[in-house]
């Protein structure tokens, strides 16, 4: 089943960003993922809460593919750098409709 990573990321430092983008792009693709959105152009339409600097949406062919990416030893140093240098929230959402 298709899954989507939905991230809200606000960098607290930009030091990690240049070393993150290339490897993350490669590893996302290697695990079958595809960026649908990676942007600072977003707005809140409902509710309250923290406003993130960036919103990222990645489409995965399966939950297993998303988890393989997150647990890939090649990604772990980049994940640590991102989480140390930002406020990040990452949700994995199954591409299904439970309300039908």
Burial pattern 50-88, b for ≥16 Cβ within 10 A else e, equals eebebbbebbbeeeebbebbeeeeebeebbebbeebbeb
Q: What is the CATH number of the domain that holds 60?
A: 3.30.70.100
In this predicted structure, the answer to whether residue 93 has a pLDDT above a threshold of 90 is yes
Q: Kindly state whether residue 72 falls inside one of the protein's structural domains.
A: yes
Residue 17 within a domain? yes
> In angstroms, rounded to a whole number, what is the distance separating the alpha carbons of residues 70 and 82?
12
How many structural domains does the chain have?
A: 1
Q: What is the extent of the structural domain holding 11?
A: 3-42+52-94
- Do the domain assignments include residue 63? yes
pLDDT of residue 50: 82
Torsion of CA 79, 87, 1, 43, to 10 degrees: -140
Residue 65: its pLDDT value, please? 98
CB 92 within 8 A of CB 19: no
pLDDT tens, residue by residue, 17-59: 999 999 999 999 999 999 999 999 999 999 998 889 999 999 9
81, 74 contact by CB (below 8 A): no
- Whether residue 47 is contained in a domain is answered as no
């Amino acid at each position: 089943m298709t899954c989507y990573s939905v991230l809200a990321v606000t960098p607290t430092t930009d030091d990690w960003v240049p070393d993150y983008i290339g490897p993350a792009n490669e590893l996302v693709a290697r695990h079958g993922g595809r960026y649908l959105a990676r942007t600072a152009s977003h707005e809140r339409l409902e509710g309250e809460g923290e406003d993130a600097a960036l919103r990222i949406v990645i489409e995965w062919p399966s939950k297993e593919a998303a988890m393989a990416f997150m647990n890939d030893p090649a990604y772990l140093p980049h994940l640590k750098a991102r989480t140390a240098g930002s406020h990040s929230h990452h949700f994995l959402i199954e591409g299904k409709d439970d309300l039908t």
